[in-house]
């Protein structure tokens, strides 16, 4: 007769800075594993914007600001997770630094998920396509909701033409685990969503807690029968690591052992 072991994992035991991407070491390991399913997940919910790391893997995310004179200036943004208001201020300060004044403003509309760049005396064009990150859908322009370069200098305010690529307009969270997905878990269409073991629909507002239990969960069979480490990543619809603002999340995983 098969026996069932339940793993209760809390991200506070991650021992790494990014509690949305960590390895959980099993003290004694679990041998002769046959299958698993996710019993429950608890995740605090908050909105954030991710400034992507450059394609080179190092340095700041950069793009060109063109005023109509010369080759243009470089706008530099420090990669990381920010609230929408923090991201607006970050972009505003970076633009003002690039043009050498302080009369440009960046604001965020929580209803449309769009940013507005209000230009001051010095008019400019943001040449997003000169971005330092060329990964499709992950370049810094998508972070702020721009699919291409903004209008030429003198065209006035610049408003995101699509919803900003932020956690706040994700419809679901996903839990990824390569260790557990070796037995044929389903994958999503984007590469960064391979090895997904669980989907959590977002059904609470900012500041709420997602508590999800799949009443119809079925066993997912494993090809790796001995498990000593479970790697876990919590990502959003865009493949970004979820920023829980320092709050821990938990997952309970049932594992069936062969006898």
Q: Are residues 62 and 42 part of one domain? A: no
Q: Are residues 28 and 74 part of one domain? A: no
Of 119, 140, 159, which closes a domain?
159
Q: Are residues 58 and 43 part of one domain? A: no
DSSP the chain: --EEEEEEEEGGG--SS-TTEEEEEEEEEE-SEEEEEEEEEEEE----EEEPPPTTSSS-EEEEEE-SSTT-EEEEE--EEE-HHHHHHHHHHHHHHHHT-S--EEEEETTTTEEEEE--SS--EEEGGG-S--STTTSHHHHTT-SS--PPTTS--EE-SS--SBGGG-SEEEEE-TTTGGGT----SSGGGTTEEEEEE--S-TT-EEEE--TT---EE-S---EEEEEEEEE-TTSPBP--TT---EEEEEEEEP-
Its domain, for residue 62, covers 49-159
pLDDT at 193: 52
Contact in structure between 75 and 98 (CB atoms under 8 Å): yes
CATH of the domain at 253: 2.60.120.1100
Q: Are residues 199 and 110 part of one domain? A: no
pLDDT at 183: 42
For residue 235, count other CB atoms closer than 10 A to its CB. Answer: 23
For residue 31, count other CB atoms closer than 10 A to its CB. Answer: 11
Of 103, 132, 159, which closes a domain?
159
Q: Are residues 149 and 90 part of one domain? A: yes
- CA 88/CA 160 separation, integer angstroms: 12
Q: Are residues 124 and 177 part of one domain? A: no
The structural domain count of the chain equals 2
Q: Are residues 111 and 11 part of one domain? A: no
Q: Tens-digit pLDDT profile for the chain (259 aa)? A: 678 889 999 999 887 777 888 888 888 888 888 888 999 999 998 777 778 777 676 778 888 888 877 667 888 888 877 888 999 999 999 999 988 888 999 999 988 889 999 998 888 888 876 655 544 445 678 788 888 787 777 777 899 988 887 665 678 889 988 877 644 444 343 444 568 889 999 888 777 899 998 888 888 887 667 888 888 999 887 777 887 878 899 999 999 887 6
Q: Are residues 56 and 41 part of one domain? A: no
| Residue 34: both structure tokens together | 């046959």
Of 134, 159, 184, which closes a domain?
159
Q: Are residues 147 and 132 part of one domain? A: yes
pLDDT at 55: 66
């Amino acid at each position: 007769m098969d026996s069932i072991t339940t793993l209760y994992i809390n991200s506070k035991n991650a021992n790494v800075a990014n509690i949305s991407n960590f390895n959980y070491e099993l003290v004694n390991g679990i041998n002769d594993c046959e299958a698993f399913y996710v019993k429950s997940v608890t995740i605090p919910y908050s909105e954030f914007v991710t400034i992507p790391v450059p394609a080179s893997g190092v340095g700041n995310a950069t793009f060109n600001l063109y005023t109509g004179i010369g080759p243009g200036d470089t706008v530099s943004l420090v990669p990381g997770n920010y609230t929408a208001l923090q991201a607006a201020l970050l972009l505003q300060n970076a633009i003002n630094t690039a043009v050498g004044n302080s009369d440009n403003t960046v604001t965020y509309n929580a209803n449309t998920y769009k940013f507005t760049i209000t230009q001051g005396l010095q008019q400019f064009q943001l040449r997003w396509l000169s971005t330092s990150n060329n990964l499709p859908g992950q370049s810094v322009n998508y972070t702020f909701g721009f699919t291409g370069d903004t209008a030429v200098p003198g065209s006035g305010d610049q408003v995101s033409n699509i919803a900003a690529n932020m956690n706040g307009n994700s419809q679901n969270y996903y839990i990824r685990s390569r260790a557990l997905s070796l037995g044929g878990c389903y994958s999503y269409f984007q590469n960064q969503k391979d090895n997904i073991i669980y989907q959590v629909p977002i059904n609470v507002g900012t500041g709420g807690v997602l508590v999800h239990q799949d009443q119809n969960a079925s066993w997912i069979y494993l090809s790796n029968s001995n498990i000593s480490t479970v790697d876990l990543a919590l990502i959003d619809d865009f493949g970004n690591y979820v920023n829980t603002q320092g709050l821990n999340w938990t997952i309970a995983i049932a594992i069936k052992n062969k006898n």
